[in-house]
Structure 1
Amino acid sequence: MPQDKDELEKNTESSGQAPDNGPEEYEKVCYICRRPESKAGPMITMPGNITVCSHCMQKAFDSVEKNGIPQMFPNGMPIQFGVPVDFDNFAAQMPKTQQVKKKKEKEPKPSFDIHAIPAPHRIKAQLDEYVVGQEYAKKVISVAVYNHYKRVAADASGDIEIEKSNMLMIGPTGSGKTYLVRTLARLLDVPLAIADATSLTEAGYIGDDIESVVSKLLAAADNDIEKAERGIIFIDEIDKLAKKRNTTSRDVSGESVQQGLLKLLEGNLVEVPVGATSKNAMVPLQTINTKNILFICGGAFPDLEEVIKERLNKQSSMGFRADLKDKYDKDPNLLRQVTVEDLRAFGMIPEFIGRLPIIFTLDALSRDMLIKVLKEPKNALLKQYQKLLSLDEVELEFTDGALEAIAERARKKDTGARALRAIIEEFMLDIMYEIPKDENIGRVTITREYIEKTGGPRIEMRGVEIPELQASAGHILD
């Protein structure tokens, strides 16, 4: 009599058997080593629905050949794992089935698609949401990255082989070099490794090996070699590798490191350790081709302005057409006029500069740009502090005068956008300490007087406005 489907499944579960859904869902398991068929290979089926892999079967034959027939009890039963085996009930002792579910095979990763990389104008539009100003730098890096990944996606068997275009980014400290590259890698969803050139030495004398920058990229790509070979490596503080002048010792962290980086920049097979920064016998090595890895070098290049001034002031300082010696002293963007000859005079070797064909500069941040950095980007500092106070159900506002005062103080520090957070942290310390004490506070307004330490912030209670407090920075709400 046919059984109902639910009743059949109930009986199957109670009997301990796995449902027979076909070979595509279940696989056999070796009775001895418990390995599935996908790992152990084809199984040998024996009476009693017992499956044994060929490896365990061969071990059994070798054991019989070496040790003879297994030990017998007086009643003639063999011993298995120290327990006598009753052949009459052997099949009843075995599980009803030796099948496990097959593991789902991982879907093959799609090959690199050029259509997944947005056009240069779209890359720049996305960068505009995070980086303020630096229009020329964002345009250059957008076009260079787009062309680089077009080259990666191009057929290598073509008649024309496109050379790689690495980049050299020059800009004063705090102008957004590292932030620009980090934002770019996040938007393109490619692995990024940021290395500091000051820690590199020629052969790991004191610091890291030169190949360690590629090892960091492999770690950022979760040890996926194919993904790492399409990543971006940003080497910061590259200006610290300039040739040392008037030195008699071997320059293991200057010119020699530049020469060691040549093979990485141009493209070569490099063996890098997996999960470590130095090679040793206990760490496995992987071979990575750096041909399709985009290298971006950046540095502040201090005193490069003096080299540029010396070149621009070659004319005589006498006569009607003479140039004044201080003509370029007050030019905040003098780095725009940098040339390859200036970089060579600074201490970079010609072979190194030749492998960085795209050279562009970032402008120093003006007062207006600093104000925009405070409030316009998606991750602006003001938005971060407003989010923090909103968790306490308190609104935070900055007046235009306060923003101008913060920007003016930041320019005096001469550290670019990095000075903004230090200044805001200084003035927000007491506010964020005192605000949680009173749950009736609804809004805090930062004024110019508070930044200039001639007054205090404006505090508004929920539904009641309190006049501006003339308190010192250390006693805001006393």
Structure 2
Amino acid sequence: MSDNQNIDTTTNINETDTNKTSTDHSDDYEKICYVCRRPESKAGEMITMPGGMNFCHECMQKAFDSISKSGMDFSKLQNMPFMNMNLNDFAGMQMPNTEIPEKNKIKKKSKAKDAEKFLTMKDVPAPHQIKAQLDAYVIGQERAKRAVSVAVYNHYKRVILRQQDELRANENTEEKAENAAAQGMQMQGGEPEIEKSNILMLGPTGSGKTYLVKTLAKLLDVPLAIADATALTEAGYIGDDIESVVSKLLAAAGNDVEKAEQGIIFIDEIDKIAKKKNTMSRDVSGESVQQELLKLLEGSQVEVPVGSNQKNALTPMATVDTNNILFICGGAFPGLDDIIKERLKKRSTMGFNSHLKDEFDNDPDILSQVTTEDLRNFGMIPEFLGRLPVLVSLQGLTKELLMRILKEPKNAILKQYERLLALDEVKLVFEDDALEWIAERALEKDTGARALRAILEDFMMDIMYEIPKDPNIGSVVITRPYLEKKGGPRIEMRG
């Protein structure tokens, strides 16, 4: 062996500045083991090697055991690498680029929180304030907005109580335990812990379930992730694992675990994971997904991949506590109204309390009479329903509500078209008869508020094409005859 290959026992990697890593890790992020991909909060202090590679003590010990078989326990050496080497050997070598992508970095947990950064009740918007903000964007659905406002309000208070409990627990915990042990007393528990009340939202398609939660995301300063239950499958099959919904929340919180643990997760299309009936194939996206969601809804420590929906050997893993995450599940539940009607029709059919067979056929609010028995008949397992204690039903939209949706919200569809034509210095006006016609056609499509944009896009295409041709046009009035294709829009020229 040549001299320049001998190990130099006088030079330490950590003590030498001649070969610093090409990438300086920010103090805000944790180091991640290059082998096992565990962050330093789990694996302990890391050893930084040339090229920016970090290794935990356990992986380094395994590496040396496989090479030397000497039995020496290198993990006993703290705050320094397990071998000293001549760094001149690395001169001129091209080290591999081991920089971790930004989306895969895990933010460090703050060891000491500033009390001024804690939330207080002054920072928490009251339920009526949250509902008032929702009223500016969402028309109707009063019960749903009230239920969501209360749930979010309680969620903020739960975060405050959790911060207060952590602060008290950190103050003189060891001293209190020693005093209690010396006096032979058992330490008493603190105040009762507030549990979260997860929400299940029911409503026909286009009634505003997803839009309601998306609006909350804009109004509230809390991490919110929207996941789709149709993409979830049983572990081991093609599709997203259950933990992917928490991964999305972690990404929404900027990979800050503490912030993600105070967030809200909305799982849309939850009715698509109902138990499949009369099927001979394996149900990998139905009942099995409901069973795997149980641990998330109730609260547990979940290992989730950072910056990815799939677990693999190259993705860092983070532990997220879902006990303080508020879950909102929403679905259209097609066919559930028939189950409810069938149950209601089983009541007495004679006498003063009798019900006609067609009494509930045209009831737009039939979902408000839903029970857990109806949802079980639909295909939801009782354990899943037990973890969603708050049932919120959204009403089917009427013609009057559809007309209000067209013009009243802050981002109403008509206001969007008015702003587009305003760039051409043209004023757009819709007559009330025209709005009524649009609402009637939307009811026929039976797709809720989504039908409004489809109808408007069809009729506005010609106007958006023709108006820029003539710079003298000052205003355009949309009339009912134009929508019925019995005439044209009323155009007024400038001056």
Q: Given the alignment, which residue of 214, 221, 225 partners 1:182?
A: 214
Matched with 1:8 is: none
Task: Report if aligned partners of 2:125, 2:153 keep a CA contact under 8 Å in 1.
Answer: yes
Matched with 2:234 is: 202
Matched with 1:212 is: 244
Note if 1:281 corresponds to 2:318: no
Note if 1:324 corresponds to 2:345: no
Q: How many residues align?
A: 379
Question: Looking at CA atoms only, which structure, 1 or 2, has the larger radius of gyration?
Answer: 1
State the SS of the aligned residue for 1:270.
strand
Whole-angstrom CA distance in 2 between matches of 1:314 and 1:62 = 84
Whole-angstrom CA distance in 1 between matches of 2:85 and 2:280 = 70
1:143-186 CA-to-partner distances (Å, cap 9, x unmatched) read 11111221121144632111110000000100100110111122
State the SS of the aligned residue for 2:201.
strand
Q: Given the alignment, which residue of 472, 484, 487 partners 1:440?
A: 472
Whole-angstrom CA distance in 2 between matches of 1:265 and 1:193 = 15
Unaligned regions of 5+ residues in structure 2, if any? 1-15, 26-48, 51-79, 93-112, 170-189
Note if 1:258 corresponds to 2:290: yes
Note if 1:428 corresponds to 2:460: yes
Matched with 1:165 is: 197
Letter in 2 for 1:127: L
Matched with 2:436 is: 404
Report how far residue 317 of structure 1 moved: 3.9
Whole-angstrom CA distance in 2 between matches of 1:204 and 1:198 = 16
The 10-residue stretch of structure 1 (154-163 or 167-176) with the greater mean CA deviation from structure 2: 154-163
Deviant stretches of 4+, over 6 Å: none
Whole-angstrom CA distance in 2 between matches of 1:428 and 1:189 = 36
Task: Report if aligned partners of 1:308, 1:338 keep a CA contact under 8 Å in 2.
Answer: yes
1:384-403 equivalence runs, <5 A = 384-403=416-435
Query: How much is the aligned-residue C-alpha RMSD, in angstroms?
Result: 2.8
Matched with 2:373 is: 341
1:19-49 CA-to-partner distances (Å, cap 9, x unmatched) read xxxxxxxxxxx984589xx99xxxxxxxxxx
Task: Report if aligned partners of 1:117, 1:188 keep a CA contact under 8 Å in 2.
Answer: no
1:419-463 CA-to-partner distances (Å, cap 9, x unmatched) read 000011001000001111111111111011111111110111111
Whole-angstrom CA distance in 1 between matches of 2:85 and 2:233 = 56
With structure 2 as the length reference, what TM-score do the two structures score?
Answer: 0.72
Letter in 1 for 2:123: A
1:55-204 equivalence runs, <5 A = 110-154=117-161, 155-156=164-165, 158-204=190-236
Matched with 1:88 is: none
State the SS of the aligned residue for 1:219.
helix
State the SS of the aligned residue for 1:444.
strand
Whole-angstrom CA distance in 1 between matches of 2:375 and 2:331 = 12
Whole-angstrom CA distance in 2 between matches of 1:253 and 1:346 = 15
Whole-angstrom CA distance in 2 between matches of 1:320 and 1:63 = 97
Matched with 2:274 is: 242
Letter in 2 for 1:196: D
Task: Report if aligned partners of 2:118, 2:160 keep a CA contact under 8 Å in 1.
Answer: no
Report how far residue 321 of structure 1 moved: 5.3
Report how far residue 251 of structure 1 moved: 1.7
The 10-residue stretch of structure 1 (425-434 or 221-230) with the greater mean CA deviation from structure 2: 221-230
Matched with 1:231 is: 263
Unaligned regions of 5+ residues in structure 1, if any? 1-29, 40-54, 68-79, 82-106, 464-478
Whole-angstrom CA distance in 2 between matches of 1:434 and 1:322 = 60
Letter in 2 for 1:258: Q
Matched with 2:332 is: 300
Question: Structure 1 pair 32/242, CA: closer, same or farther in 2 (3 Å)?
Answer: closer
Whole-angstrom CA distance in 2 between matches of 1:238 and 1:205 = 19
Letter in 2 for 1:214: V
Question: Structure 1 pair 255/389, CA: closer, same or farther in 2 (3 Å)?
Answer: same
Q: Which has the higher contact order (CA 8 A, sep 6+)?
A: 2
Report how far residue 248 of structure 1 moved: 2.9
Whole-angstrom CA distance in 1 between matches of 2:316 and 2:332 = 36
1:394-425 CA-to-partner distances (Å, cap 9, x unmatched) read 11110111111111111110000000000110
Letter in 2 for 1:132: I
Question: Structure 1 pair 439/343, CA: closer, same or farther in 2 (3 Å)?
Answer: same
Matched with 2:37 is: none
Question: Structure 1 pair 340/31, CA: closer, same or farther in 2 (3 Å)?
Answer: closer
State the SS of the aligned residue for 1:373.
helix
Report how far residue 249 of structure 1 moved: 2.9
Q: Percent of counterpart pairs with the same letter?
A: 68
Question: Structure 1 pair 62/384, CA: closer, same or farther in 2 (3 Å)?
Answer: closer
Question: Structure 1 pair 34/324, CA: closer, same or farther in 2 (3 Å)?
Answer: closer
The 10-residue stretch of structure 1 (379-388 or 223-232) with the greater mean CA deviation from structure 2: 223-232
Question: Structure 1 pair 279/250, CA: closer, same or farther in 2 (3 Å)?
Answer: same
Note if 1:382 corresponds to 2:414: yes
Report how far residue 188 of structure 1 moved: 1.1
Report how far residue 326 of structure 1 moved: 1.3
Report how far residue 227 of structure 1 moved: 1.2
Matched with 1:22 is: none
1:171-217 CA-to-partner distances (Å, cap 9, x unmatched) read 01001001101111221111111111111011141211010000111
Whole-angstrom CA distance in 2 between matches of 1:204 and 1:185 = 32
Matched with 2:445 is: 413
Note if 1:313 corresponds to 2:358: no
Report how far residue 275 of structure 1 moved: 1.1
Whole-angstrom CA distance in 2 between matches of 1:356 and 1:166 = 5
Whole-angstrom CA distance in 1 between matches of 2:303 and 2:490 = 61
Question: Structure 1 pair 394/249, CA: closer, same or farther in 2 (3 Å)?
Answer: same
State the SS of the aligned residue for 2:226.
strand
Matched with 1:84 is: none
